[in-house]
Amino acid sequence: MIHVGIGYDVHALVEGRKLVLGCVEIPHPRGLDGHSDADALAHAITDAILGAIGEVDIGHFFPNTDPRWKGAPSRVFLEEAARQVTQRGGRIINIDATVIAEQPKIFPHLPAMKTQVAAALNLATGKVGIKATTNERMGFLGREEGIAAMAVASVDLPE
């Protein structure tokens, strides 16, 4: 039976942090603020997968109060979400995600992001869709104060 989950994440852009999106370090003068590497794209995808299997969100699996996850690469979170699917006898069918950012330009990094996310989830790259858009200069995203991501995951689980 096919299950679908959605995920959303947003982090503020701050000085002194590297910018990681989709498990790829992107050259930019600011990075995302958070307990782990703050990869908003990986976090949104993780939440989408967890939602598809009826689980709680990423914060319950990887609380920001746990020092083990301080600075952790978000690839670990993707891998755990995939493990949770496998543990239930299921398989991830596909991922579709969108990054919302004014800067930096995301398009040049999409192939690397797809490759990294697919590898973390043990999927073919063709089963991972990642797109980018801006917020048309509106709101905190439009003022380049942060970056957001949203994702949908479809998972086939036994009945």
Task: Give pTM, 2 decimals.
Answer: 0.97
Q: How far apart are CA 123 and CA 93, in angstroms?
A: 8
Quick check: 141 and 148 in contact, CB under 8 A?
yes
- Residue 62: phi, psi to the nearest 5? -135, 70
| Domain residue ranges of the chain, discontinuous segments joined by + | 2-156
Q: Give the CA count within 13 Å in the CB-facing half-sphere of 118.
A: 15
Q: Which CATH superfamily is domain 2-156 in?
A: 2-C-methyl-D-erythritol 2,4-cyclodiphosphate synthase (3.30.1330.50)
What are 67's two structure tokens?
């020092």
Count Cβ atoms below 10 Å from residue 140 Cβ, excluding itself: 13
Q: pLDDT-derived band of residue 28, with 50, 70 and 90 as boundaries?
A: very high
Question: Which tens digit of pLDDT belongs to each residue from 89-143?
Answer: 999 999 999 999 999 999 999 999 999 999 999 999 999 999 999 999 999 999 9
Pinpoint the alpha helices (H) of 53-109. 58-61, 75-87
Q: pLDDT-derived band of residue 18, with 50, 70 and 90 as boundaries?
A: very high
